[in-house]
Amino acid sequence: MTCRECYENGKKKLGQTGIVEAETDARLLLEQLCGLSFHDLLAHGDRELPERSRQLYEAALALRERRIPLQRILGTQDFMGLTFLVNGQVLIPRQDTEILVEEALRELHDGMRILDLCTGSGCVLISLLRYSSGCRGVGTDISPQALAVAKENAGRILGGPSQSGAGEAAGRMPGGPAPAGAEAAADWIRSDMWENVDGVFDLIVSNPPYIRTRDIPGLMPEVRLHEPIQALDGGEDGLAFYRNIISGSRAYLAREGKLFLEIGYDQARSIVGQMEEAGFSGIRVVKDYGGRDRVVRGVLGKDGSEDV
């Protein structure tokens, strides 16, 4: 079977399954698993695809037909110009969460101490440490399996040896060499929210579960069936974790410390109200690239509201 025939067959199979991005997914699987770039497909599509590559491609297509996310099949996801390992134990990093990192980076100065609650793959904390200097961070999660993924990502992106062979197809991480000793700047702690957190932090960031329990059955199969439920379910109103984070953060933020939260598109008003009641000022809601409310940030114990 030629390369073009494999691609056309893959595109047709995924399209019949109802996958909206069937063309893109078929191409990316061929590119990542068989080393066949889009240019190769156009210029040399009449070449026979080696049998082993064809079998690998067909097996990956079968997984995607079952609505297993592309990132789960490939084992990686790009985020903030870095490549993160992902598996079924962590939420796949999404572009919307880059807004959270970008906003935190605006306030991040050398030597600051950062806490990332519900860290998952570690993408938020690792990105902040990767693009700053002399900062230290703590990432917490209730899942030891998620923390194992975060540690693996820290080793690959911030420096130090990889702890397993998972995701080797991702190759070297982009962005140049990590600063010397950068990996040591991250600590990973199993904690049910504040349970095992200790110390004072200049920044607290979190992308907590915020989907209403009743809304989960209506999510896309890729999310509903293949993302860890504990990374999605935010309780009856979707705000359970925010109440905990906002009230608890007061005991762990330095004076004029800053809190950054990723939120659902319709949750800004409630979360702003909670932060005001908890004594935060300078509260600002930041929209994502689609124009939806995505991040709320505020300052603890600061007078004035020039950022509102």
Q: Compute how many other C-beta atoms are within 10 angstroms of the C-beta atom of residue 238.
A: 23
Considering 16, 37, 66, which residue would you say is the last residue of a domain? 66
User: Do the beta carbons of residue 147 and residue 228 sit within 8 Å?
Assistant: no
Residue 168: pLDDT band (50, 70, 90) is very low
Do residue 113 and residue 41 come from a single domain? no
- Over the stretch 247-300, which tens digit does the pLDDT of each residue have? 999 999 999 999 999 999 999 999 999 999 999 999 999 999 999 999 999 999
- Report the interhelical angle of 3-16 vs 51-65 (nearest 10°): 10
Model confidence at 143: pLDDT above 90: yes
Assign 183 a pLDDT band (cuts: 50, 70, 90): low
Listed residues 16, 44, 66: the one ending a domain: 66
- pLDDT of res. 182: 52
Q: Are residues 90 and 192 in the same domain?
A: yes
**What is the mean pLDDT of the segment spanning 193-203?**
97
| Residue 52 sits in the same domain as residue 86 | no
Q: Pick the more confident residue, 160 or 302.
A: 302
**Percentage of residues in the chain having pLDDT higher than 90:** 79
Number of domains composing the chain: 2
Residue 71 lies in a domain: no
Q: Do 51 and 101 fall into the same domain? A: no
Q: What average pLDDT does range 162-189 have in this prediction?
A: 51
In a domain, 34, yes or no: yes
User: Looking at this protein, which amino acid is placed at residue 199?
Assistant: G
Asked if 55 and 96 sit in the same domain, the reply is no
Tokens of 10: 């893959």
Contact of 137 with 116, CB cutoff 8 Å: yes
Task: Extract the tokens encoding 54.
Answer: 């064809």
Q: Are residues 13 and 122 in the same domain?
A: no
DSSP state of 211: B
CA distance 38 to 203: 42
The per-residue pLDDT for 164 is: 38
pLDDT for res 294: 98
Residue 189 and residue 128 in one domain: yes
Strand duo 280-287 + 253-262: pairing: unpaired
Query: Counting beta carbons within 10 angstroms of the beta carbon of residue 40, is it exposed (0 to 12), middle (13 to 18) or buried (19 or more)?
Result: middle
**112 and 261 fall within a common domain:** yes
Single out the residue in 14, 39, 66 at which a domain terminates: 66
Supply the range of the domain harboring residue 30. Answer: 3-66
In angstroms, the CA 271 to CA 113 distance is: 24
Same domain, 141 and 17: no
Contact yes or no for 26/11 (Cβ under 8 A): yes
In a domain, 180, yes or no: yes
Query: Is the pTM higher than 0.85?
Result: yes
Given a cut of 50, is residue 162 above it in pLDDT? no
Let me know whether 46 and 118 are in one domain.
no
Average pLDDT, the chain: 89
| Domain annotation covers residue 305 | no
